[in-house]
Amino acid sequence: MGRTARGSKSPTLEDVAREAGVSRATVSRVVNGVRNVDPGIQEAVRLAIERTGYAPNRAARSLVTHRTEAVALVLSGAGDTFATRVFADPFFGRVVNGVLGFLRPRGVHPLLLVAESATAREQVVDYLRQGSADGALVVSIQADDPLPAMLAAAHIPTALFARPPGAERVSHVDLDHAAGARLAAAHLLSRGRRRLATISAPHGLPAARERLAGFRAALAEAGIDALPAVEGSFTSDSGARAMAALLADHPDLDGVFAANDLMALGACQYLREHGKDVPGDVAVVGFDDSSAALTCRPPLTTVRQPVERMSARMAELLLEQLQGTRTEPASVVFAPELVVRDSA
Partner DNA sequence: TTGAAAGCGCTAACAA
Partner DNA sequence: TTGTTAGCGCTTTCAA
Q: Among 3, 6, 9, 155, which residue sits at the site for DNA (rule: CB under 7 A)?
A: 9
Site for DNA in 194-253 (CB under 7 A): none
- The answer to whether the CB of 332 falls within 8 A of the CB of 317 is yes
Q: Among 43, 47, 57, 118, which residue sits at the site for DNA (rule: CB under 7 A)?
A: 57
| 137 vs 311: CA distance, rounded Å | 9
Using the rule CB under 8 A, is 303 a contact of a copy of itself? no
41 binds, among DNA, a copy of itself, none (CB under 5 to 8 A by kind): DNA
Nearer to DNA, 40 or 192 (CB): 40
Using the rule CB under 8 A, is 31 a contact of a copy of itself? no
Q: Among 19, 26, 30, 110, which residue sits at the site for a copy of itself (rule: CB under 8 A)?
A: 110
Close Cβ partners of 206 (under 8 Å, ≥ 6 residues apart): 143, 163, 165
User: What is the smallest separation between the CB atom of 99 and a copy of itself, expressed in angstroms?
Assistant: 10
End-to-end Cα, the chain, rounded Å: 63
| 138 vs 81: CA distance, rounded Å | 18
DSSP letter, residue 338: E
Q: Among 1, 3, 36, 226, which residue sits at the site for DNA (rule: CB under 7 A)?
A: 36
Nearest to 201 by CA among 263, 268, 284, 269: 263
Sheet with 337-339, edge to edge strand ranges: 229-231, 196-200, 255-258, 283-287, 301-304, 337-339
Q: Among 65, 93, 204, 295, which residue sits at the site for DNA (rule: CB under 7 A)?
A: 65
157 binds, among DNA, a copy of itself, none (CB under 5 to 8 A by kind): a copy of itself
Question: How many residues contact a copy of itself, by CB under 8 A?
Answer: 63
Cis-peptide, bond into residue 336, ω within 30° of zero: no
Q: Among 18, 24, 109, 195, which residue sits at the site for DNA (rule: CB under 7 A)?
A: 24
Q: Which residues lie near DNA (CB under 7 A)?
A: 9, 12-14, 22-26, 28-29, 31-32, 35-38, 40-41, 54, 56-57, 60-61, 63-65
